[in-house]
Amino acid sequence: MSVENEDEEKIIWHFFYPLWPDMGSLNSQNVKSVLTLMDLSRSKNVEEENPRVVHCSAGVGRTGTFVALEFLMGELQGGAWEGWDQSEEKGNDAIFETVDQLRQQRKTMVQAVEQYIFLYEVLRKQWEEKYRLPCFGGEHTHDSPPEEGKNPVFRAIPENK
C-alpha cells in the first residue's frame, strides 16, 4: 500500500474468514482451517513494525475468541502448560484469566457462551495432541460442547465488565 506524499510503502495482508458465524463458534470440521489461518497470519506479520489487526463485525466476539486462542496456543506451544496437573491447580485457569484480561481492555471480548466453550474444547484437544494423551473420558468428547457441571474444566463465564 502506498500513501500519497509518503516515501514509505507497506505490505498489507488481508485475510477474510467467512465460515465463523457471528455470535457463534466454529464447527469441528473448521477448527483446523482457523488454526491454519492463525499460522498464516502470524507468518505474514513477524516484523514488529508490521502489527496484526484482527476484527469481526463488532470487534468483540470472534475477535476476542481469535485473540484469546492465538495467545493461549502460543502458551501451549511454548511449554507453559508442560507437566500441568489439574489436581495441583487451585483456582488457576489460564483460559478464564486470559478472557478476563481481554475484557479489562474491551468489555465483551469472547461474547457468546459457545465461543468461551470453544476455547476450552480446542485447547484441550491441542493439549492432548501435543502431549499425546488420550482424550478425556477415552473418547473425543471435544467434538460436542460440554454441558455445565459435566466438564471438569468448564468454569462459569466472568461477567462482562
Known catalytic residues? 56
* 40: alpha, beta or left? (left if phi > 0; alpha if psi -120 to 50): alpha
* 23: alpha, beta or left? (left if phi > 0; alpha if psi -120 to 50): left
Of the candidates 94, 66, 67, the one whose C-alpha atom is nearest the C-alpha of residue 80 is 94
Q: How many angstroms separate the CA atoms of 110 and 46, rounded?
A: 25
Of the candidates 10, 2, 26, 12, the one whose C-alpha atom is nearest the C-alpha of residue 112 is 26
